[in-house]
Structure 1
Amino acid sequence: MKRTITKRTRPSFVGLFSGCGGFDLGFVQAGFHCVAAFDYDAEAVATHRKNLGGNVYCLDVTQNSDQVVTAVSQADVLVAGPPCQGFSTIGKRALNDPRNSLLLFVADVASVAKPKVVVVENVAGVLSPPHDRYWRQLESRLRRAGYTCKTIRFAASDFGVPQTRVRVMLIGTLSGAELHIPLHGGAAPTLRDILHGAESFSNHHPSVLQPGSAALEIAKRIGQGQKLCNVRGGERSVHTWHIPEVFGHVSDVEREVLQTLMRLRRQLRVRTFGDADPVSAEALSEALNRPCKRHLNSLVRKNFVRRVGDLYDLTNSFNGKYRRLSWTDLAPTVDTRFGQPRFFLHPEHHRGFSVREAARIQGFPDDFEFEGSVESQFRMVGNAVPPPLAASVARSIRDSEF
């Protein structure tokens, strides 16, 4: 006889690829009992156990599928956050990344264990071709196993999480019922509110830029909402040629050449991929209405410009480093680099963020303590599902009867 998840029975779940427990914490906060949780990262498992207790196992689930299936068969819900590195747009997005197939492992476990609900989370890039084939196979395998599936895109900021994080979830129900999952769970606070007082709690050891360092001189030039960026114009981009104490001096004429090159490399496209191409000296001279070859050669010597065959392009062509967050804006997606000042700067201080600050932006409570090295702690926070988002989904499942 099928059990029914009702308000009268405490529902249960198993966490798969649980990491430090962000996804699982949301379900616990919603009143679920954790039957078991699995991850291969020993430090993440230690953090999970410290904060959530219960039966958490450090193992490779693909090599211990019988143990996983046994646990899932005793639970109402399977909650899974398979690795996203192969799908993320900030990574290499290798189509054959072996971690991509772990999505399908979730479907295979569910097909045998038959939990009533399956919840799978990943980055939005999992829906972009050609990588979307894995998500489509996940849905297909679950449907063949009898699940009714629905894929939903979530903005974390709609659930009180102050960042621009967008994620997708697949919700599969064995009963055929389609759950109503709200797409809004409360306005996000400002960063000023969310970061206030973080220094009073554990895991607060921010990376401070050292006096006399080039990084500190760069940070001094970056205002709130700005970044070091040579490939975009506008007030949000601070260019290397505007920080002479670090990158060297250029003349007014050379600065004009650089600004023109920045613009033309995106306008005079040759390739069908990427977002910019090198530019010829002739095109630059025509745009400036004067010869510029001598100035280009000077800028090459000063390392502001590089030669690409007979063409020219900017050096330092990354789309933004040293991003200084704003007190009044949302944070970008909290990722594993959030403690490194060369990627993210505190709105006011010349430093990166602490683990506690990153955890707050993710929605972790202050009594949630992270174990392991600082690098590992940032990896745990960046890879986690924001608990407030997880809790909202969990409450919707809890309050459904099917």
Structure 2
Amino acid sequence: MKAISLFSGAGGMDVGFKQAGFTVIAANEIDTHACQTFRANHIETTLYEGDIANYTNELAHLTDIDVVFGGPPCQGFSVAGKMDITDPRSQLIFSFADVVEKVRPRAFVMENVKALGHLEKFALLRKQLIARFIKAGYTTILITLNAKDFGIPQSRERVFFIGLRQTTNPITVASFQKYYKTPPTLREVISPLGKAGTLNNRKTCKAKITLATKPVLRQSPYAGMLFNGQGRPLNPDGWASTLPASMGGNRTPIIDEAHLFHDAKPWVEEYHQHLMKGGKPYSSDAAPHSLRRLTVDEAALLQGFPLNYQFCGPQSKVFSQIGNAVPCKLAYVIADVVCQTLAYPDFSQNDEHSIGQNMELQFA
């Protein structure tokens, strides 16, 4: 099956679609460094670099396309940002629709942050987008998936707009159940790389770790705000919170190497307990040397990129490429479900959650 990749970034979604058997014949990305990364890893795909509006007509000449997929920029919709509908990047969801209308693939998959699919603030925008897909002939659904439900050690919820043309086999909640898998712990995933700065884990983040003078406490020591910046501590025996595209500075998550490699009692938990009992915050420079930031290679593994994946550009841009990506394994799940649906268009699952046009599915 043939696919077109839009807003491709570093190509994380492409990795998953290729693993599901798709041949990605064309892609589009505007960021220079992400384009360099994409070319280094997807040499068989024709990459159109630049504004997608400049290539819509060119892409329209590609024929017999099975799927158009991609993740338009989410900054205008993210709860971590300004949630600004007037942000020019917010209009790029309609650029995705432009390509779908012109190429007319058998299916499409558009990824974005959960807020776009659920907040009332974006209801009109959602309605306008889905109306265009339906007018173009696509049964369109919204499904929210969390990466950690599919064997990925990261709690990362994203919404997927999935459209199908000329099929009697609907995609339902049941379509994803066979992919359920308990994720490994952070320890299992990143500890094989070795300590930060060693041969297989050299791309360290040098952002200093300082304690907040007015910490914000939550029940979990791995929530709240114990440190300056928005980099949260990670529990090696648990899963990561959503890795942000703003990693590289003080928003990069924090790891306790003594806990990770030597099974020492986690300092973060001890400090949190001290504060919860009414103890005074320590001085800002009191964080132990065993605490350090997540490395580039560790972040890439937590997003599911292959070990030999080549990233290009300054480290800050590489962190951004990783944080912006769709986890490769989650992309594979979506791609495989779509692939099976297209391969067997007359098969019906007879599931009670079967859906018609424009129905939202909440999938926790």
Answer yes or no: same fold by TM over 0.5. Answer: yes
Q: Any conservation in 1 of the 2:142–2:161 contact (CA below 8 Å)?
A: yes
Q: Secondary structure in 2 aligned to 1:104?
A: helix
Q: Any conservation in 1 of the 2:252–2:294 contact (CA below 8 Å)?
A: no
Q: 1:207 aligns with which of 191, 205, 208?
A: 205
Q: 1:357 aligns with which of 277, 294, 298?
A: 298
- For 1:193, the equivalent position in structure 2 comes to 188
- For 1:295, the equivalent position in structure 2 comes to none
Separation in structure 1 between the aligned mates of residue 87 and residue 78 of structure 2, nearest angstrom: 11
Residue-by-residue CA offset, 1:62-109 (whole Å, 9 max, x unaligned): 1222112223x4421000210001011111111211111111122222
**Structure 1 counterpart of 2:240, one-letter code:** A
Deviation at 1:342, TM superposition (A): 5.3
Q: Any conservation in 2 of the 1:202–1:369 contact (CA below 8 Å)?
A: no
Q: 1:378 to 1:233 in 2, by over 3 A?
A: closer
- For 2:272, the equivalent position in structure 1 comes to none
Q: Any conservation in 1 of the 2:9–2:35 contact (CA below 8 Å)?
A: yes
Separation in structure 2 between the aligned mates of residue 344 and residue 351 of structure 1, nearest angstrom: 9
Q: Any conservation in 2 of the 1:164–1:331 contact (CA below 8 Å)?
A: yes
- For 1:221, the equivalent position in structure 2 comes to none
- For 2:240, the equivalent position in structure 1 comes to 331
Q: 1:238 to 1:140 in 2, by over 3 A?
A: closer
RMSD: 2.4
Q: 1:231 to 1:202 in 2, by over 3 A?
A: closer
Q: Secondary structure in 1 aligned to 2:248?
A: coil
Residue-by-residue CA offset, 1:135-181 (whole Å, 9 max, x unaligned): 22221100001100111010000111111100010110011431343
Q: Secondary structure in 1 aligned to 2:180?
A: coil
Structure number with greater Rg is 1
Q: Secondary structure in 2 aligned to 1:399?
A: helix
Q: 1:94 aligns with which of 84, 89, 108?
A: 84
- For 1:43, the equivalent position in structure 2 comes to 33
**Structure 1 counterpart of 2:323, one-letter code:** G
Q: Give 5+ residue unaligned stretches, structure 1.
A: 1-10, 210-214, 219-226, 244-317
- For 1:83, the equivalent position in structure 2 comes to 73
Identity in percent: 33
Deviation at 1:119, TM superposition (A): 0.5
Separation in structure 1 between the aligned mates of residue 181 and residue 15 of structure 2, nearest angstrom: 18
- For 2:215, the equivalent position in structure 1 comes to 230
Q: Secondary structure in 1 aligned to 2:110?
A: strand
Q: 2:94 aligns with which of 104, 127, 141?
A: 104
Q: 1:346 aligns with which of 255, 259, 269?
A: 255
- For 1:232-271, list aligned pairs within 5 A: 232=217, 234=219, 236=221
**Structure 2 counterpart of 1:135, one-letter code:** R
TM-score normalised per structure 1: 0.69
Residue-by-residue CA offset, 1:265-308 (whole Å, 9 max, x unaligned): xxxxxxxxxxxxxxxxxxxxxxxxxxxxxxxxxxxxxxxxxxxx
Q: Any conservation in 1 of the 2:26–2:48 contact (CA below 8 Å)?
A: yes
Deviation at 1:322, TM superposition (A): 4.5
- For 1:5, the equivalent position in structure 2 comes to none
Deviation at 1:216, TM superposition (A): 4.5
**Structure 1 counterpart of 2:204, one-letter code:** P
Q: Any conservation in 1 of the 2:204–2:294 contact (CA below 8 Å)?
A: yes
Q: Any conservation in 2 of the 1:116–1:174 contact (CA below 8 Å)?
A: yes
Q: Any conservation in 2 of the 1:203–1:370 contact (CA below 8 Å)?
A: no
Q: 2:320 aligns with which of 362, 379, 402?
A: 379
Separation in structure 2 between the aligned mates of residue 342 and residue 385 of structure 1, nearest angstrom: 19
**Structure 2 counterpart of 1:346, one-letter code:** I
Q: 1:166 aligns with which of 157, 161, 176?
A: 157
Separation in structure 2 between the aligned mates of residue 201 and residue 114 of structure 1, nearest angstrom: 48
What is the number of equivalent residue pairs in this alignment? 301
**Structure 1 counterpart of 2:13, one-letter code:** F
Residue-by-residue CA offset, 1:356-400 (whole Å, 9 max, x unaligned): 110111111101111111011011101101110111111112222
Separation in structure 2 between the aligned mates of residue 42 and residue 203 of structure 1, nearest angstrom: 25
Separation in structure 2 between the aligned mates of residue 103 and residue 74 of structure 1, nearest angstrom: 23
- For 1:135, the equivalent position in structure 2 comes to 126
**Structure 2 counterpart of 1:116, one-letter code:** R
Separation in structure 1 between the aligned mates of residue 95 and residue 234 of structure 2, nearest angstrom: 38
- For 1:52, the equivalent position in structure 2 comes to 42
Separation in structure 2 between the aligned mates of residue 158 and residue 233 of structure 1, nearest angstrom: 24
Q: Secondary structure in 2 aligned to 1:103?
A: helix
Deviation at 1:338, TM superposition (A): 3.0
Q: 1:171 to 1:192 in 2, by over 3 A?
A: same
Q: Any conservation in 2 of the 1:207–1:354 contact (CA below 8 Å)?
A: yes
Deviation at 1:238, TM superposition (A): 8.1
**Structure 2 counterpart of 1:206, one-letter code:** T
- For 1:269, the equivalent position in structure 2 comes to none
Deviation at 1:235, TM superposition (A): 6.2
Q: Any conservation in 2 of the 1:13–1:79 contact (CA below 8 Å)?
A: yes
Q: 2:171 aligns with which of 176, 179, 190?
A: 179
Separation in structure 2 between the aligned mates of residue 94 and residue 394 of structure 1, nearest angstrom: 30
- For 1:247, the equivalent position in structure 2 comes to none
Q: 2:310 aligns with which of 369, 372, 384?
A: 369
**Structure 2 counterpart of 1:336, one-letter code:** A
Q: Give 5+ residue unaligned stretches, structure 2.
A: 258-289, 346-364
- For 2:141, the equivalent position in structure 1 comes to 150
**Structure 2 counterpart of 1:329, one-letter code:** G
Separation in structure 2 between the aligned mates of residue 81 and residue 153 of structure 1, nearest angstrom: 14
Q: Secondary structure in 1 aligned to 2:61?
A: helix
Pair 1:121-2:115 in alignment: no
Q: 1:32 to 1:233 in 2, by over 3 A?
A: closer
TM-score normalised per structure 2: 0.76
Separation in structure 2 between the aligned mates of residue 129 and residue 115 of structure 1, nearest angstrom: 30
